[in-house]
């Protein structure tokens, strides 16, 4: 099994942290997104969308989408449970994880992608070959949705030390990677969000954060 990875990119980082939490080690193939390696024919044969990460199974099947990769390993190795321990927790993790992804990860992508010169003609993730232009108005919209993302975090942390209560889960992983991604655009946890700041220090202190 192999993981097609890009060490600087936030979505591959989500998969790496998940694997590190489960202590699963995989062969990694580094693909340089900034240099456009993900848009070359070799990688497009792996994932026609040109996106990372991708898991290659031993039978040659390719699994892209972070959540599909994580679901695969949660089934292979259920402990520690990162997608919920029981029915209710599984539903809550799914619900909150989606919010972290849409309001966090995707908003960061809109803010970053529509102002960074390397991406001026790479307006949608993986769409580099199609010369899709950046839309500056999406920077503002992304910033607005990020406000909602930071609001969610502070709210969820009313329930306990992690974003679903007492257990570190995928929700914490996607949120951590979104905050890291937001920094690329000089966006940080608002000073008033004290619960989030404390939580972020704690999750960054976990060995998996280095993955």
Ligand X SMILES: N[C@@H](CCC(=O)N[C@@H](CS)C(=O)NCC(=O)O)C(=O)O
Is there binding between residue 100 and ligand X (CB under 6 A)? no
Is there binding between residue 9 and ligand X (CB under 6 A)? yes
Is there binding between residue 84 and ligand X (CB under 6 A)? no
Is there binding between residue 174 and ligand X (CB under 6 A)? no
Q: Do residues 60 and 19 touch, judged by C-beta distance below 8 A?
A: no
Half-sphere exposure of 2 (CA within 13 A, CB side): 14
**Residue from 4, 38, 84, 182 in contact with ligand X (CB under 6 A):** 38
Q: Please, what is the minimum distance in Å from the beta carbon of residue 126 to ligand X?
A: 5
Backbone angles phi, psi at 122, to 5 degrees: -125, 55
Select from 121-129, 151-159, 166-174, 199-207 the region that touches ligand X (CB under 6 A).
Answer: 121-129
Is there binding between residue 66 and ligand X (CB under 6 A)? yes
Q: Please, what is the minimum distance in Å from the beta carbon of residue 70 to ligand X?
A: 9
| Residue entry with tokens 């990162």 | 82
Q: Do residues 46 and 22 touch, judged by C-beta distance below 8 A?
A: no
Q: Do residues 30 and 5 touch, judged by C-beta distance below 8 A?
A: yes
**Residue from 37, 65, 89, 154 in contact with ligand X (CB under 6 A):** 65
The kind and range of the H/E element at 176 are: helix 170-183
């Amino acid at each position: 099994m192999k993981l097609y990875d890009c060490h600087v990119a936030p979505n591959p980082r989500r998969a790496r942290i998940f694997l590190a939490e489960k202590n699963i080690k995989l062969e990694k193939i580094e693909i340089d997104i900034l240099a456009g390696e993900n848009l070359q024919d070799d990688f497009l044969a792996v994932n026609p969308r040109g996106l990372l990460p991708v898991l290659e199974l031993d039978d040659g099947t390719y699994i892209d989408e972070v959540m599909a990769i994580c679901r695969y390993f949660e089934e292979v190795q259920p402990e520690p449970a990162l997608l919920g321990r029981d029915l209710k927790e599984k539903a809550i993790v799914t619900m909150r994880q989606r919010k972290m992804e849409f309001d966090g990860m995707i908003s960061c992508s809109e803010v970053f992608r529509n102002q960074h010169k390397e991406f001026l003609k790479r307006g949608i993730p993986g769409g580099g070959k199609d010369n899709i232009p950046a839309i500056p108005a999406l920077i503002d919209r992304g910033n607005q949705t990020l406000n909602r993302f930071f609001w969610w975090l502070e709210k969820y942390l009313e329930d306990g030390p992690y974003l679903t209560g007492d257990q570190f889960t995928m929700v914490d992983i996607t949120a951590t990677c979104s905050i890291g991604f937001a920094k690329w655009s000089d966006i940080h946890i608002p000073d008033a969000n004290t619960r989030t700041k404390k939580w972020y220090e704690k999750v960054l202190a976990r060995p998996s954060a280095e993955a």
